[in-house]
Structure 1
Amino acid sequence: MNMDRIGIGFFLALTFSVSPTQVAASQLDDKMVELARRVLALTRGQQVAVGVFSPTGLPDTNFGPGCSEALAAALEDQKPGSVNKRADFEVKGDYMFVKSQSEANKSLARVVSIDARVIDLAAGGKQLGKFPIRLELDHTKTIAKVIQETVALPANGTKEERNQILASAVKNPSVFLHGPQRSLVSSSRESKLAVEVLVRPSPHAPARPRSAKDLDGLAFVDIAVDEIYEIKLYNRYPREIAANVSVDGIDMFHFSQDRGDDGRPLYSHMIVPPLSEAVIVGWHHSVGGNENYKSFLVTSYGQGASAKSGIDAKGKIGVIHVQFGFTKVIPMGGRSAPGKETGFGPPRKVFQKPVQREFDPPHDFVSIRYAR
């Protein structure tokens, strides 16, 4: 079992409060720390702008914003004040799903490769260093978050088996749409999990299901620029499920004010009880308070009704990505293994409470795209 973090729930009769444990960094976080150190070494510690990371050979993906945000956070962590959008140096790059160039990953069909370049704008756009800085990501859940396919993996499969299925999914994508309005999106007809996009034409209008379309094996939903959307998760298993949700590679907890001692978001998953649903109304902001979520908008990330903080959304295609995995409840008074992650139950303002969980590796992935 993969030991990931802690959870937050609303099903009050079943949850219990815990003291959050230290967050285990994701592989992307670790790699961005490595990249940040190398960038600062090339620039001799001078300020740097974080530019765009573009897909190569991965049409209809939009992981670049998540990559840029993770790198900016790593740079600031390594050297506060090092990120400046008007700096003389800019780091940008490409991400690909390709055969590994590392001996350690030779058994895998494909890995995610990130090639980053540092450009000296004051020197006429000269690249620092002879070659781009190459990083490889080989963890299954990290690869799935980057390639943004809808696919089911064997829950107990080997890393090589799961990797091969992900590689096949990129070449031959497929999706199963169902429900009265064909608004439910699942990885297959047999899947007991589904994701549905609910749309509000205006802030005070009710959120209603929006039908999806199957375009060459990818699920697309039409959302207008000024509409607000919510994400509904369906769990038809007789056991609890944890869901990790991201938009364009940016985790829904990225803007949260609830942080651990290491500065990272305290929470990472939504907990969906057995045979039930959960609606995610926006980016998580805090456990307490009257406005503890910021609305999902097509044009921005992390923007709320009263707090207009947030960043402009990038890319012609937006991608909602959900990773599902089983959980194991830690007995009352029991201790979890190191490196746990924190999750959430269905978002209802007053009722959020941290709960401790162990998470299996995610085995079911659903992505829904929309045009900007």
Structure 2
Amino acid sequence: MTEVPDTGLQSTIKPGRVGRATETCWEFHMANASSIYRKALEGHQAPKKVLVKIDRVTKKFDETTAVDDVSLEIHQGEIFALLGGSGSGKSTLLRMLAGFERPTEGRILLDGVDITDMPPYERPINMMFQSYALFPHMTVAQNIAFGLKQDRLPAAEIDARVQEMLRLVHMTQYAKRKPHQLSGGQRQRVALARSLAKRPKLLLLDEPMGALDKKLRSQMQLELVEIIERVGVTCVMVTHDQEEAMTMAERIAIMHLGWIAQIGSPVDIYEAPVSRMVCEFIGNVNAFDGTVVEDLEGHAIIHSPDLAQKIYVGHGVSTSVQDKSITYAIRPEKLLVSTVKPENRYNWSAGKVHDIAYLGGHSVFYVELPGGKIVQSFMANAERRGARPTWDDQVYVWWEDDSGVVLRA
């Protein structure tokens, strides 16, 4: 198990989440000791059952292909994110899961049952919309009870489920209020409670944080994850917000122009992107176009016109004889800035501080290289060792052999 502070509680860090999200998640749950214990860390989990299978699904609107031959599997109890920009096909795929759109080709299976042609009201699936879609004339309790009444459940069971949901989302004291009397975060909790009241096999979230301001969004991301995991429902969420997907999801599918560019944990996608598109879509990155000049099993050497020194990579890159062109990508937090010239033969360049952005916990240094290219470096403001460079200072940027990733596309 990964070591965590000795608090008397098991780690509540969800596997796959990294960086600020992981640290915030730990602090949030340590401040809320009543939180349930989360699943074991990655590598200590039993294989999960496949609940949702999307098999070669295509959706066309006239001559436009919105979703192009997509296949993926979603595990039971998983929070899975469809992440992409506008027009990527993520919302269309979510609507096909809900039954609001029918695939042009392919099949969708839920728990082994083909639901491709099943109408929405027959699917054991509920969806929480970005706008929440609460009935303004109904109280919180009445909104939660609405779907249960539509299913003609006994009154006693409806009341029991409503009370259960109110407790789950910490809204018992607001049961008689109407939506206009609630904050944005409270309305979101009510919408979630209504979606969970029918005990669906699959919960769909359409831009769940889109209606909230940034500060409330950060708080509600973790609260929403806690509630979903407490219930144990499988969840598919759609978002264009990279930080939201990295914080909430166990696995992410990056969608682009209707197809899936990469599926993986937040760590996989951030640290090992399969293409330049994925690399640039998730977080900030410094990308250097270059040519492989030496490629052996144990290392490779790359020449980039943006850098005076060559790039050394501690592994081979398997380029073909015909095509030696690559992109070398390195994240700003791994690009280091120093006023002292490195002694290494590779992996550094001279430069000049072009600009500095102070962001509280860290500063972003924009360094102009001799050829005019500007790169970014993140420097923690807690670090006070030695004099920090300032505007127009002559500096050196450098990085470790294993800090970057070589991309072919």
Query: Which of these two proteins has the greater Rg computed from alpha carbons?
Result: 2
Q: TM-score, normalised by structure 1?
A: 0.26
| Larger proportion of helix | 2
Q: TM-score, normalised by structure 2?
A: 0.24
Q: Which structure is higher in RCO with an 8 Å CA cutoff and minimum separation 6?
A: 1
| Larger proportion of strand | 1
